[in-house]
Amino acid sequence: MVAITVPCTIDHIPRVKCPKGTANATVPTVDLSAPGAAAAVADACRAVGFFRATNHGVPAALADALEARAGAFFAMPLADKLEHASARPLGYGSKSIGSNGDVGWLEYLLLAVGSGSVQASSLPQSLRAALEEYTAAVREVGGRVLELMAEGLGLDRGALRRMVQVAGSDELVRVNHYPACPLASGVTGFGEHTDPQVVSVLRSNRTGGLQIMLRDGRWVPVAPDPTSLFINVGDSLQVLTNGRFRSVKHRVVAPDAGKHSRLSVIYFGGPAPSQRIGPLPELLRDGEQSLYRDFTWGEYKKAAYKTRLGDNRLAPFELP
């Protein structure tokens, strides 16, 4: 096994400017079981690219079980966790994000979950089982949200879901653990970025730290709510909708000394490598120009993994 952790001290990790964000702006909330859910989902994706989903149907017991198992995993000695560090970018990682020098005050597990099964045989069996059960449930929410998005855009119900949840699709789960940082305040946990995929579904424990950027550039703290799921529009969905939905910039500030650690679990719905990504023809109005040149998910992912976290990864694909 190859250890993916690079030597890194607190001095390498940037502080977040204005780490508290703008506290009075609210994050849209959508009750996924309400009659007007499709329109509300589309509104939130247009305005912010992010929303809090309630009544999502994932049993609390699944998330609690995963939280307990993941907590036990991260509590193991570093040497034991490094046993699970496989080839980049998958496996266990500490402080280093991706392979281009991004660092944050966190440790994580990043796993492929194509068709819902967790591809990480070396993990403790109980953690793997909890991940699998939770992923199956949250993947279903991701699929349902994609159906609501499609409906809200006036598309065929399956138009987006079938881009992501098919044989060979590139789905990931990431478990992020942000311990309280004893050395400084306002330390970057996960630097600002957009997600490259179509959709991301996040759940966290009671510790805050996640912030999203509004269109006007203000950073807004997302109040932690373990009973809700948080949905992100990814870069690929921005392209599929020809910019109607916008991928949301987000970041995480590590907990200050004395606070509880933050644990979050994110499902990333990405297409199969050969899937063509371009504005959906059925969405384009007469005479509407495509804002992006077409690419495949494989091509986009390869390019994305060469970038730094905060880069605008869509810029090279924008048409003049």
Nearer to ligand GA4, 174 or 177 (CB): 174
Segment interacting with ligand GA4, rule: CB under 6 A, options 45-53, 113-121, 239-247, 307-315: 307-315
CB of 82 to ligand GA4, least distance (A): 17
Nearer to ligand GA4, 153 or 204 (CB): 204
Site string for ligand GA4, 145-174 (x = CB under 6 A): ---------------------------x-x
Restricted to residues 252-271, the positions that interact with ligand GA4 (CB under 6 A) are 268
Nearer to ligand GA4, 22 or 100 (CB): 100
**307 touches ligand GA4 (CB under 6 A):** yes
Whole-angstrom Cα distance, residue 170 to residue 7? 30
Show the tokens assigned to 113: 């979950």
Site string for ligand GA4, 182-221 (x = CB under 6 A): -----------x-xx-------------------------
**Considering CB under 6 A, how many residues would be counted as binding ligand GA4?**
17
Show the tokens assigned to 49: 């690219």
Closest alpha carbon to 273 in 145, 114, 161: 114
Nearer to ligand GA4, 268 or 292 (CB): 268
Nearer to ligand GA4, 172 or 277 (CB): 172
Whole-angstrom Cα distance, residue 63 to residue 60? 5
Distances (CA, A) of 273 to 44, 226, 235: 28, 32, 15
CB of 172 to ligand GA4, least distance (A): 6
Restricted to residues 67-96, the positions that interact with ligand GA4 (CB under 6 A) are 89
- What type of residue is 294? D
Q: What angle do CA 230, 43, 169 make, to 5 degrees?
A: 55
Whole-angstrom Cα distance, residue 41 to residue 82? 40
Whole-angstrom Cα distance, residue 197 to residue 233? 8
Whole-angstrom Cα distance, residue 83 to residue 13? 25
Nearer to ligand GA4, 151 or 194 (CB): 194
Whole-angstrom Cα distance, residue 76 to residue 96? 19
Nearer to ligand GA4, 60 or 315 (CB): 315
Show the tokens assigned to 188: 């970057």
> Which residue has tokens 């933050």?
262
Whole-angstrom Cα distance, residue 63 to residue 234? 23
In 135-155, which positions are buried (b, 16+ CB within 10 angstroms) versus exposed (e)? bbbbbbbbbbbbbbbbbbbeb
Whole-angstrom Cα distance, residue 166 to residue 90? 21
**102 touches ligand GA4 (CB under 6 A):** yes
CB of 196 to ligand GA4, least distance (A): 5
Nearer to ligand GA4, 32 or 174 (CB): 174
CB of 232 to ligand GA4, least distance (A): 9
**304 touches ligand GA4 (CB under 6 A):** yes
CB of 262 to ligand GA4, least distance (A): 15
Q: State the residues that interact with ligand GA4 by CB under 6 A.
A: 89, 97-98, 100, 102, 110, 172, 174, 193, 195-196, 268, 304-305, 307-309
